[in-house]
Amino acid sequence: MEEFILSETRGIFNKAIKRFAKENKKDQLDVSFLLKLTPEREVGYVYCQDHAPFRETSIKEILNVRAIDMKGYTVLVPPQIKKILEKLESQLSSTNVEVCVYLDREDEDEIRYFVYQDGKYIKEISLLELIK
């Protein structure tokens, strides 16, 4: 099950970063997504350009779902992300935790995850560490 989650998550963000880069005429290494919890404790998604927040987005836009979500990921993915963010908040004793998702500079098929607290870089973390 872990391998399925890792593979699907990698595919979701890989495709989204590449698609957003193409649509916005940006280099794919200059595109990322910031995942965070809103004050209402819902998952917030921010599209970033050049390592800076650009605009809010949604899980539907990230997944490129325009009508019906045949895989059900718009329902399944947000609770998993929320669980990961809450776990990081607990580990860091903070409610201002974000995870930034980038393409790997050496292997554009891989995704890298970076943890931030209060806007400051804390560490890189693997998805496997996040889901355990």
pLDDT tens-digit series, residues 79-92: 888 998 999 999 99
- The answer to pTM > 0.95 is no
Show the tokens assigned to 28: 């794919």
Say what the pLDDT of residue 93 is: 93
Q: Which residue has the tokens 């989650």?
A: 5
- Cα(32)–Cα(16) distance, integer angstroms: 9
pLDDT for 90 equals 93
- Which tokens is 106 given? 């050496």
Q: Which two tokens stand for residue 85?
A: 């963010």
Is the pLDDT confidence value at 40 over 80? Answer: yes
Please state, for a pLDDT cut of 70, what percent of the chain lies above it.
Answer: 98
DSSP classification of residue 54: E
**pLDDT at residue 1, as a whole number:** 60
* pLDDT above 90 (res 71): no
